[in-house]
């Protein structure tokens, strides 16, 4: 089998925190180009069950299944539905779950899919090539809805101006391409000092998250992990921006045996009693300087590990 198309982010740290052992079942909830799955299979005589909602990954998954017969299973679907997907495959408990959150490098590099403004393409952004697209969001959402997703999912301070300009432009003609949308954002965006990111970055992030309901899926997957992981099971999540990381951090810390001291600002409703904690250990790992040099995409990454306790879900 050929090597994965893209270098997996924080691969050494993922392997160290998952620590796969012979005979264990490990879930790779975001298969992508197969980098994590292949590395896990090479690291131990374990069984890897991979999930992905993108139909384009099937050929890569089929090739890995041929290379590791009996040790690799691909199940198409959203990782937010992993509990029902795995149960449907006859799997009730697993030893580890790995999630690499957000759009994959493979999807970004497929210019025709509309995830990036660096290539002119139809406004799409659908990870599973079905359902509501970015075109639908940009051309049918109300101004208030656009402002909301830009502020919440894009953390865009200029949300009102961008949303208003989108409404003005689409009243003349439908906004159909990534370059059109990026130009609209550039037209009304304030320059933010020495900030290096393109002014349309946050807008594209917000619309992509809305199209794919990414944060909803993440929350569902985290909840599913409580039912799926055996005592001592490892939940490893790699995130790339503050929205995702905040959800993962709060989920893990509020259910850990250190929950009462996690934050004096955390609502009491989110704080699990120490003697009823779902996780016995919570750890954060940041990319090393060597990792960032090797793979610049890891620069914004955060890895969080939680060890499942013996407390019932």
Give the burial string for 18-50 (b: 16+ CB within 10 Å, else e): bebeeebbbbbbbbbbbbbbbbbbeebebbbbb
H helices of 10-104, where? 11-18, 35-43, 58-67, 82-88
pLDDT of 125 higher than 80: yes
> What percent of the chain stands above pLDDT 90?
73
The reported pLDDT for the residue numbered 105 is 59
Q: Is this structure's pTM higher than 0.85?
A: yes
pLDDT in tens, 69-111: 999 999 999 999 999 999 999 999 999 999 999 765 555 555 5
Q: pLDDT class for 193, splitting at 50, 70, 90?
A: low
Reported as a single tens digit per residue, the pLDDT across 270-279 is 444 556 899 9
DSSP 18: H
Name residues whose C-beta falls within 8 Å of residue 278's C-beta, 6 or more positions apart in sequence.
226, 255, 256, 272, 308, 309, 311, 313
- Distance (Å, rounded) from C-alpha 169 to C-alpha 171? 5
Domain boundaries, the chain: 11-106+214-308, 114-212
Q: How many CB atoms lie within 10 A of CB 87?
A: 12
C-alpha Rg value of the chain to the nearest Å: 20
Q: How confident is the model at residue 198 (pLDDT cuts 50, 70, 90)?
A: confident
Q: Is 310 exposed, middle or buried (0-12, 13-18, 19+ CB in 10 A)?
A: exposed
Looking at residue 111, its pLDDT comes to 55
Q: What is the DSSP string of 39-59?
A: HHHHHSS-EEEEEES-GGGHH
Predicted local confidence at residue 129, as pLDDT = 84
Tokens of 28: 């790779």
- The CATH H-level superfamily of 11-106+214-308 is Vaccinia Virus protein VP39 (3.40.50.150)
pLDDT score for 135: 96
Contacts of 123 (CB under 8 A, 6+ apart): 114, 133, 134, 135, 138, 175, 176, 177, 178, 180, 181
Look up the CATH superfamily of 114-212: Putative methyltransferase TM0872, insert domain (1.10.150.170)
Is the pLDDT score of 178 beyond 60? yes
Q: Using one digit for the tens of pLDDT, what is the confidence trace for 208-236? A: 999 999 999 999 999 999 999 999 999 99
In 3D space, the residue among 270, 276, 271 whose CA is nearest the CA of residue 309 turns out to be 276
Q: Over the stretch 261-302, which tens digit does the pLDDT of each residue have? A: 444 444 444 444 556 899 999 999 999 999 999 888 899 999
- Alpha-carbon torsion 195, 159, 111, 179, what sign? negative
């Amino acid at each position: 089998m050929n090597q994965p198309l893209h270098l997996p982010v924080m691969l050494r740290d993922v392997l160290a925190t998952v620590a796969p052992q012979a005979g264990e079942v490990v879930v790779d909830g975001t298969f992508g180009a197969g980098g994590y799955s292949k590395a896990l299979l090479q690291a131990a005589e374990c069984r890897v069950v991979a999930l992905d909602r993108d139909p384009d990954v099937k050929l890569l998954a089929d090739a890995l299944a041929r290379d590791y017969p009996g040790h690799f299973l691909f199940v198409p679907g959203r990782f937010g539905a992993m509990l029902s997907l795995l149960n449907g495959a006859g799997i009730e408990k697993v030893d580890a779950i790995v999630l690499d959150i957000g759009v994959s490098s493979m999807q970004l590099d497929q210019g025709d899919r509309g995830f990036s403004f660096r290539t002119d393409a139809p406004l799409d952004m659908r990870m599973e090539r079905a359902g509501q697209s970015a075109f639908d969001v940009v051309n049918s959402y109300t101004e208030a809805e656009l402002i909301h997703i830009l502020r919440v999912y894009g953390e865009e301070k200029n949300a009102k101006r961008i949303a208003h300009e989108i409404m003005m432009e689409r009243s003349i003609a439908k906004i159909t391409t990534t370059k059109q949308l990026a130009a609209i954002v550039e037209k009304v965006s304030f320059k933010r000092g020495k900030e290096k990111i393109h002014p349309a970055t946050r807008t594209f992030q917000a619309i992509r998250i809305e199209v794919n309901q990414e944060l909803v899926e993440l929350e569902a997957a985290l909840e599913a992990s409580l039912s799926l992981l055996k005592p001592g099971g490892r939940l490893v999540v790699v995130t790339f921006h503050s929205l995702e990381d905040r959800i993962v951090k709060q989920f893990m810390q509020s259910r850990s045996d250190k929950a009462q001291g996690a934050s004096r600002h955390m609502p009491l409703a989110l704080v699990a009693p120490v003697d009823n904690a779902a996780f016995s250990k919570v750890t954060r790992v940041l990319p090393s300087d060597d990792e960032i040099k090797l793979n610049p995409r890891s620069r914004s990454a955060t890895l969080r590990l939680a060890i499942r306790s013996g407390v019932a879900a």
